[in-house]
């Protein structure tokens, strides 16, 4: 029997982290809570011999979604601790294509950064750390709903600049946007019959043009 002691926010996360550390699926492991405090629980996660044998037989199938979620959450938590942040992360949603992790804590401005630059850098780093082989899943990192707020603001900007382009009868140029942010604006204006949007230039200086339809 293999075992590992872990500390996590709750029993479910302890089970997931412990199973990932032991190289098995959470359904193959057992968790025993040893202690509980305001920061979470300390638990002993064990894997019976028969579960180890089953894991060895299926090792070539690639990591399960649960295992990738646990590894991603644990990796992001480690990075946050190295940054000196008193924050924790949780898996907000997960499917076979995308895993969304949310960072929780006080004063997360440092984690988000200017226009989400630090958050995007964390997301890029996490994808490199977790997607090392086998099936690649897209990892999205959010911080207390920042990405939803950013998308709403970009949609508002799209409307404002479209109205300006139509009123002044000239193109409006938006610079400094990431590809994902440009897509939000393209999508927001795609059904406006009086507006055309397109991008030009090379990264990282690619820009988005909002122009009246001639």
Beta strands in 87-206 (DSSP E): 87-94, 98-105, 138-143, 172-174, 195-200
Segment 151-169 mean pLDDT: 96
Decide: pTM greater than 0.85.
Answer: no
Domains and CATH numbers, the chain: 2-145 (3.30.300.20), 148-212 (3.30.1370.50)
The percent of residues in the chain predicted with pLDDT above 70, rounded, is 93
Residue 58 has pLDDT above 60, yes or no: no
Beta bridge partners of 142: 102
| pLDDT reported for residue 54 | 54
Measured CA to CA in angstroms, residue 19 lies from 34, 53, 68 at distances of: 16, 14, 11
Residue pLDDT, tens place only, 98-139: 999 999 998 899 999 988 889 999 999 999 888 876 678 889
């Amino acid at each position: 029997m293999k075992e590992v002691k872990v500390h996590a926010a709750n029993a479910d996360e302890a089970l997931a982290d412990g199973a990932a550390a032991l190289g098995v699926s959470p359904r193959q492991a057992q968790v025993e809570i040893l202690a509980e405090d305001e920061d979470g629980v300390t638990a002993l996660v064990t894997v019976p011999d028969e579960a180890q044998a089953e894991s060895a037989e299926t090792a070539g199938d690639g990591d399960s979604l649960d295992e990738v979620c646990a590894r991603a959450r644990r990796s992001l938590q480690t990075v946050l601790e190295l940054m000196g942040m008193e924050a924790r992360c949780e898996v907000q949603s997960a499917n076979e294509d995308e895993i969304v992790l949310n960072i929780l804590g006080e004063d997360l401005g440092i984690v988000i950064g200017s226009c989400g630059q630090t958050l995007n850098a964390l997301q890029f780093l996490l994808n490199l750390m977790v997607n090392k082989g086998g099936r690649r899943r897209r990892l999205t990192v959010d911080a207390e709903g920042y990405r939803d707020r950013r998308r709403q603001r970009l949609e508002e900007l799209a409307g404002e600049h479209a109205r300006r382009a139509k009123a002044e009868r000239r193109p409006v140029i938006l610079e400094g946007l990431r590809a994902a942010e440009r897509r939000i604006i393209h999508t927001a204006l795609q059904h406006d019959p009086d507006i055309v949007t397109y991008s030009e230039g090379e990264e990282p200086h690619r820009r988005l043009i909002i122009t009246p339809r001639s």
